[in-house]
């Protein structure tokens, strides 16, 4: 069998080899040598991993993933490069370098100097902030579809369930704009530190203002009473002293020392991705079925400082 | 001079050591990718991308770990993804192409392989071309060992049918 597989003639193999070597050689010449992690950073990562194991071992939900944690978390077992996602879909990553789209095979594209991005519901577009004062809609290849400039700081664009509306903040005011960039209007004063949340399958958005939760139908302007879960997402990070925990429907699925980024669920809801800055890792947690945990290190090198998962779409 | 020394040399910037790694590993990665995707251009892209990933990760590569399995894991997983996507797009129409009568055994193997699912092709290639054990294949593809064994069994049975 081996002999037969080796004897199969592949057309153009010699030329393919020559071309590939030219490309690999060019990439090698252009690479920037990376300094080895400083010892204190490594110690911090190890200490953080130990903290996770201790935290996980003492809570029932955590205990279920502790064996996976033992195998996967830590400098030794984390993959050094993100070569594929554990589930289908595309990951949106925000970092100091800009917005990245990561495909399931691990290939990634830097869309450009955009920040605070979010996927449209079907992953056809990305809404993001450019130059701090522009709301931009672009496709996943980086082609800008429209730009809405504002005079003040723009933050936290979030698409409605079918992509017809985008809620976002201009300074301390909640705005809504149509998905095609038309019909921008101010809704009311808001606390821009907490991103707006759309109520599923409606044009009703929840946000904070004056320390209270507000809910409004953006098409009619009618104020509505709040409902449980309007502002608190089903998947979120909670700070517990020196640690952070990821909760899925109030079930703890992961705990890490220091602060964690915002988590994002895979399109099927089976996996969750979250960045762990103090360990310089991107962590994938299987939250449906048999618990499993995977980690990729060197996230800052791969994406830029402050990398954060901003969404995981089809 | 062994693989570890080549990796160490490449990490220090030696082009000749990188070239030694390329010579040692690219042909097998390329062949493995081709046997899974059955498309020379795609195999070239896949093997090249795998090596580019290696170059990007070179400074952080743990020299105690073997280079080949790491590279093959990237190449074969990407090849599986490509083949699945290609199958979905109905671009790979070779499945129903019968092996030519009286063909040389070498010429019959490729269409016979094409009759397998991408997942079966991948385990056959990893087992018989790259000579990984079923346990190692399970680790490379993140599959249960039983799944690897059943894919191998079904793949071999199908190959046997096509080659007889």
Q: Tens of pLDDT along A225-274?
A: 887 766 666 788 887 777 788 888 888 888 887 788 889 999 989 999 99
Query: What token pair was written down for A11?
Result: 């057309």
Query: What token pair was written down for B39?
Result: 């498309």
Task: Using pLDDT thresholds of 50, 70 and 90, give the confidence band for residue B34.
Answer: very high
pTM above 0.80, yes or no: no
Q: What is the CATH number of domain B3-163?
A: 1.20.140.160
Report the range of poorest mean pLDDT among A63-77, A98-112, A185-199.
A63-77
Average pLDDT over all residues of chain B: 81
ipTM (interface pTM): 0.82
- Decide: A119 and A87 in contact? Cβ < 8 Å: no
Cβ neighbours for B75, distance < 8 A, ≥ 6 positions apart: B29, B32, B33, B46, B47, B50
Q: Given an 8 Å threshold on Cβ–Cβ distance, is A80 in contact with B35?
A: no
Average pLDDT over all residues of chain A: 82
What are the residue ranges spanned by the domains of chain B?
Answer: 3-163
pLDDT of residue A134: 95
A99 exposure class (CB count in 10 Å sphere: 0-12, 13-18, 19+)? buried
Shortest distance between the Cα of A286 and any Cα of chain B, in A, equals: 14
pLDDT value at A133 more than 80: yes
Closest partner residue to B55 (CB to CB) among A1, A31, A83 is A31
Cβ neighbours for B93, distance < 8 A, ≥ 6 positions apart: none
A162-178 burial, b if ≥16 CB within 10 A, otherwise e? ebebbbbbbeebbbbbe
| Among B12, B23, B58, the residue to mutate for chain A (most A Cβ within 10 A) | B58
Q: Using CA atoms, how far apart are residues A108 and A224, in angstroms rounded to an integer?
A: 41
Instruction: Give Rg (Cα) of chain A.
Output: 22
* B67 Ramachandran zone, left/alpha/beta (phi>0; psi -120 to 50): alpha
Shortest distance between the Cα of B164 and any Cα of chain A, in A, equals: 14
Name the closest residue on chain A to residue B74, using Cα atoms.
A83
pLDDT of residue B1: 62
A212 exposure class (CB count in 10 Å sphere: 0-12, 13-18, 19+)? exposed
């Amino acid at each position: 069998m081996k002999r037969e597989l080796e004897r199969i003639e592949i057309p153009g193999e010699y030329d393919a080899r020559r071309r590939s070597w030219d490309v690999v050689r060019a990439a090698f010449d252009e690479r920037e040598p990376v300094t080895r992690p400083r010892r204190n950073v490594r110690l911090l990562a190890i200490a953080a991993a130990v903290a996770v194991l201790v935290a996980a071992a003492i809570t029932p939900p955590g205990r279920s993933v502790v064996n996976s944690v033992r195998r996967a978390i830590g400098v030794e077992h984390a993959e050094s490069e993100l070569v594929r996602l554990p589930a289908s879909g595309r990951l949106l990553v925000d970092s100091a370098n800009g917005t990245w789209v990561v495909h399931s095979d691990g290939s990634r594209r830097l869309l450009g100097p955009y920040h605070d991005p979010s996927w449209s519901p079907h992953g056809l577009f990305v809404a993001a902030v450019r130059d701090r004062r522009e709301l931009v809609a672009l496709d996943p290849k980086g082609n800008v579809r429209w730009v809405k400039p504002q005079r003040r700081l723009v933050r936290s664009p979030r698409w409605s369930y079918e992509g017809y509306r985008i809620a976002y903040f201009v300074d301390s005011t909640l705005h809504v704009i149509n998905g095609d960039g038309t019909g921008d209007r101010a809704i009311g004063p808001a606390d821009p530190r907490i991103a707006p949340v759309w109520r599923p399958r409606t044009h009703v958005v929840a946000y904070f203002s004056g320390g209270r939760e507000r809910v409004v139908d953006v098409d009619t302007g009618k104020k509505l009473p709040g409902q449980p879960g309007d502002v608190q997402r089903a998947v979120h990070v909670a700070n517990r002293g020196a640690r952070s925990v990821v909760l899925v429907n109030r079930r703890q699925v992961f705990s890490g020392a220091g602060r964690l980024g915002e988590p994002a669920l895979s399109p099927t809801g089976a996996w969750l991705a979250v960045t762990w800055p103090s360990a310089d890792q991107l962590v994938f947690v299987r939250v449906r079925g048999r618990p499993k945990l995977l980690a990729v290190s060197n996230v800052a090198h791969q994406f830029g400082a402050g990398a954060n998962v901003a969404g995981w779409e089809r | 001079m062994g693989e570890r020394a080549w990796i160490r040399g490449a990490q220090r910037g030696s082009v000749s050591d990188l070239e030694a790694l390329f010579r040692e590993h690219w042909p097998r990665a390329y062949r493995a990718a081709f046997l899974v995707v059955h498309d020379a251009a795609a195999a070239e892209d896949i093997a090249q991308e795998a090596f580019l990933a290696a170059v990007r990760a070179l400074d952080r590569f743990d020299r105690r770990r073997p280079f080949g399995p790491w590279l093959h894991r990237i190449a074969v997983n990407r090849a599986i993804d490509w083949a699945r996507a290609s199958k979905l797009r109905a671009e790979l129409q070779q499945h129903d192409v019968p092996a030519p009568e009286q063909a040389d055994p070498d010429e019959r193997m490729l269409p016979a392989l094409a009759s397998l699912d991408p997942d079966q092709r991948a385990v056959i290639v990893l087992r018989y071309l790259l000579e990984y054990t079923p346990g190692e294949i399970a680790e490379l593809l993140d599959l249960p060992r039983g799944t690897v064994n059943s894919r191998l069994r079904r793949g071999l049975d199908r190959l046997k049918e096509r080659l007889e």
